[in-house]
A and B are shown apart, each in its own frame.
Chain A
């Protein structure tokens, strides 16, 4: 199929960006969206232009690196996928596709479609861990029995890939689905209890400091999340924060 792409081009964080139109031809419906971008870039290189910078790595939906905003949706029109798992069979011959970087004050643009998500790093560093000595002298793993239900629920929360689609799609640029997922994973496990109150307070404080907005229960984040992280995690985070505040 033949397509028209409207792509956001921006030299660096301090430059002004703009939309540029490109045509691509002979796109196979079996290509992933990123493979279609490879075709565009090969074309640009061959005509002496600079290729479009975009983040990507594993190309199997798990690293969380790819981050395009396609036709007004984070990771594009399909559900439950990252951009690398989005296939061109979702589009039709002759379509015009708009491609932009994730937009949020806490995710500044580095170049073209590449954004800086290090705010997520700092939130994790504020407490997204269990303070266990990594010396290997821990107790036997089966000495901490965990109900299957709790382990499965913790796993569901831990499935978050930190891609930032939740932020990009939220009208408030809220990071509460991401932070809620991290808080939930540890809140559901016995290992995480000891420092649970400090963890949630510190992570939420850092989230606010980074300039993410608040949650107004729109639920777009859950719909756009490639890993199906549930809003329940936000509720759980709020409960944890409440508990921690009144402790």
Chain B
């Protein structure tokens, strides 16, 4: 099947408006007769549920947690971008569009990104109307801060808990619709398959995670909003339950999977401390506004620090290598995530890592605390303040900005980051790859949509900070509610979709036989045993830097591991009860397939782009010597994989990317 992105014709700034003016609408009386299933109720799914219900559709929403409020969007810390230009620093729709396309290393779809930038301002208006307590300045107006990869202040925030507040906003809008009966909420349910009737998505098979009951649910359209697949690495910043199952199951039923090898490595994570570790914790990127990143200049100091003979605070300015400021003077510590991550890895690989494992660099707030302290002393009219006073005043400001993050760090690491620099290291965070969708956010299956992190379209090969929340809410509140109406206008006479059909029978039987297998297999290894092994292969061979040999090895090792899993996995307990191990088994089975496709996609893409450093593709000379080398001639496309059984047999389809409004050029943050 040829890929058709369905991007509307016309100038980029008019595309979305023209599109909205010409789509078919469903009249309000008919919306009452149409059902929509939404799987996942984080920022994208939750906002979609709320708006679709508001419009009058009957929404059935599914979440694996006990409440939509627990979706992992809640953990996003830093903020949400919007081209409001409240600061008057030159921001505009075009500039947000430009930064996003450039930040994504020119691997996203231009028209989608422009639309995202266009609706971004509305998101803020709507969230404020819902009662989201964004930070305010003393005049009562909204405050902004800056994030990596951009030169303007366009990030709106609510302390270090922006994701939480935005999610609670969407959740409250959902609650209003649940109370009105327009959303039927299925908490503690997991979608295990999609049901297609005559080529169209018409329902899902779900498991009630409390009783184990397998349920059939029908609808006129199905929306997947199940988030990313970062847990394919086992250790990631994702919540433990974050999984790829919904996205992977629809892939197996005909939805192409795009750019699986694009995963964001976030530069500011708390480093790993041991083999028992279950997940990684992120420190918001906003910390880089005030924190300076460094490692010692001299190897002797590195050694002394590792052996505990010296403390980081013992090192003078001269003895520190502020490598981001040195290499990228224009952006300094605010370079984009991929650049910051690669630079940290480069220093650690060269032996300058500052903790026991050699996998940590410092994020230091000393200069910020002093700078703020002096400023405050002036404001308070304190002449000749002592160093201690300056520190006290400065610390109060830093605490106001990042208090919860500092507290979190201290609880985990048992060190006070106001007194000694934080240690950070890159970790897997967000996945830019995902289910392929067209401009309407529809997958390659009719009536099957995919939104938020679960789709691929907006972030290219790297996501800029504060853009995930923006895309989730843009898709859910503003884009999908229009595009899905155009499709559903053909369904106003269809009537209820019955669930007692052979299509539902088949899907249910498939789901049940898989569960039966797990319960009855009684092998010798736990699910986590396999997940950890997979994660190790992924991190070592499909991590921040990759090469042909490693990727080929990864493919065969994952295949072997998968075969062993299906022979030797053990799942205790029964199918007809709450059984967290059974849930995990199904998810890891999917990761074991996705991981191989990930490696295959990375192997195909013989270029360095975004956070993905392909060792065979590097700049050999000039100003950019040693930096990642993108190859637009051969790789300016989206890879969309068609399922054919074994992941190794997946068939590649290419969507060539067109850049008409932005000139493709080398990214430089020098």
Contacts and interface: CB of A to CB of B under 8 A. Distances in A.
Contacts of A87: 411-412, 414
B274 A30 contact: yes
A64 B69 contact: yes
Contacts of B178: 125
A144 B187 CA distance: 35
Counting chain A CB atoms within 10 Å of each CB, the highest count among B65, B129, B142, B408 belongs to B129
A30 B578 CA distance: 30
B74 interface: yes
B645 interface: no
Interface in A1-50: 11-12, 28, 30-32, 34-35, 38-39, 42, 44-46, 48-50
B207 to A, nearest CB: 15
B240 A56 contact: yes
B73 to A, nearest CB: 10
Interface in B166-184: 168, 171-173, 175-176, 178-179
B159 interface: yes
Contacts of B72: 57-58, 63
Interface in A86-137: 87, 89, 110-111, 114, 116-118, 120-121, 124-136
A63 B74 contact: yes
Counting chain B CB atoms within 10 Å of each CB, the highest count among A30, A53, A58, A80 belongs to A58
Given A57-B70, A191-B131, A12 B577 contact: yes
Nearest to A60: B281
B133 A135 contact: no
A147 interface: yes
A152 B159 CA distance: 9
Contacts of A63: 65, 70, 72, 74-75, 239
B126 interface: yes
A31 B128 contact: no
A76 interface: no
Contacts of B75: 58, 60, 62-63
A81 interface: yes
Interface string A162-191: 100000000000000000000001100101
B54 A60 contact: no
B47 interface: yes
A68 interface: no
B141 interface: yes
A51 interface: yes
B129 A49 contact: no
Nearest to A116: B66
Given A12-B578, A62-B74, A118 B179 contact: no
Given A87-B412, A162-B69, A121 B572 contact: no
A31 B70 CA distance: 23
Contacts of A185: 131, 133
A135 B54 contact: yes
Contacts of A148: 136-138, 140
A42 B528 contact: yes
Interface stretch (A153-161, A212-220, A232-240): A153-161
Contacts of B528: 38, 42
Nearest to A34: B278
B54 A58 contact: no
Counting chain A CB atoms within 10 Å of each CB, the highest count among B50, B138, B239 belongs to B239
Q: How large is the interface on B (under 10, 10 to 19, 20 to 34, 35 or more residues)?
A: 35 or more
Contacts of A45: 526, 570, 572, 581
Contact of B161 (A44, A159, A191): A159
A191 B240 contact: no
Contacts of A128: 172, 175
B313 to A, nearest CB: 22
B478 A136 contact: yes
Contacts of A138: 122, 125-126, 128-129
Interface in B243-282: 273-274, 276-279, 281-282
Counting chain B CB atoms within 10 Å of each CB, the highest count among A61, A63, A162 belongs to A63
Contact of A39 (B119, B175, B276, B580): B276
Contacts of A57: 65, 70, 72, 239-241
Given A132-B129, A139-B125, A51 B580 contact: yes
Interface of B: 47, 50-51, 54, 65-67, 69-70, 72, 74-75, 84, 86, 119, 122-131, 133-142, 158-159, 161, 164-165, 168, 171-173, 175-176, 178-179, 185, 187, 210, 239-241, 273-274, 276-279, 281-282, 407-408, 411-412, 414, 477-478, 526, 528, 570, 572-573, 577-578, 580-581
15 contacts: A38-B278, A59-B281, A63-B239, A80-B407, A85-B411, A130-B129, A134-B50, A136-B126, A138-B129, A142-B86, A152-B133, A162-B67, A186-B131, A191-B128, A192-B131
State the 4 A-B residue pairs at the shortest beta-carbon distance, nearest first: A145-B140, A129-B172, A141-B128, A138-B129
